[in-house]
């Protein structure tokens, strides 16, 4: 198995930098990608960074990661709150998955307080803005070594 980590991003994260900067900050997803790739290199990982607005694509990428990667950091976006399919995919791939969110989901609307995916993830990081991504990579470095 390669020393790669998949960083997967769900719906609407392609709008970072434009969408509700008071909640999600001013960095774009490309800014976060560059940070993740650089941080991954420091940790000795290759980062495969992807974004889609489609639930089934995330499921396919999780399956692929189960065959090719050491672990996954996933920001499932709103799918984290609703997707049994993502829950089942994470549960089935046999590698550690860290769920992450830019905002503190527990300090937001009630419907964001619980995620379907967190129960099958190794851990959850939320509320640290773009740093949540590098914290997730640090966590994966810890649990995969």
Position 17 scores a pLDDT of 79
Q: Is 6 a catalytic residue?
A: no
Full-model pTM: 0.92
Q: How far apart are CA 50 and CA 28, in angstroms?
A: 13
Residue 26: the pLDDT is 73
> Can you give the pLDDT at residue 75?
97
| pLDDT of 23 | 63
- Give the chain's domains with CATH numbers: 4-143 (3.40.50.9100)
From 6, 24, 79, 133, active-site residue: 24
Catalytic residue among 39, 79, 87, 101: 101
The yes-or-no answer on residue 79 being catalytic is: no
Number of Cβ within a 10 Å radius of residue 116? 18
The CA distance from 55 to 68, in Å, is: 20
Q: Give the per-residue pLDDT at 112.
A: 59
- Separation CA 145–CA 70 (nearest Å): 10
Q: For each of the chain's 145 residues, which pLDDT tens digit applies?
A: 469 999 999 998 998 877 766 666 678 999 999 999 999 999 999 999 999 999 999 999 999 999 999 999 999 998 998 899 999 999 999 999 999 999 888 656 675 557 879 899 999 999 999 999 999 999 999 999 8
């Amino acid at each position: 198995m390669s020393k790669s980590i998949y960083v997967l991003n769900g719906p609407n994260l392609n709008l970072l930098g434009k969408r509700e900067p008071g909640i999600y900050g001013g960095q774009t997803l490309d800014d976060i990608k560059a940070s993740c790739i650089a941080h991954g290199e420091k940790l000795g990982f290759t980062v495969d960074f992807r974004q889609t607005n489609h639930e089934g694509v995330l499921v396919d990428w999780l399956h692929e990661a189960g065959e090719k990667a050491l672990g996954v950091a996933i920001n499932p976006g709103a799918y984290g709150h609703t997707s049994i399919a993502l829950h089942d995919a994470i549960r089935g791939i046999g590698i550690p998955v860290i769920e992450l969110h830019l905002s503190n989901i527990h300090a937001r609307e009630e419907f964001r307080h619980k995620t379907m995916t967190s129960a099958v993830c190794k851990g959850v990081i939320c509320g640290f803005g773009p740093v949540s991504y590098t914290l997730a990579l640090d966590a994966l470095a810890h649990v995969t070594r």
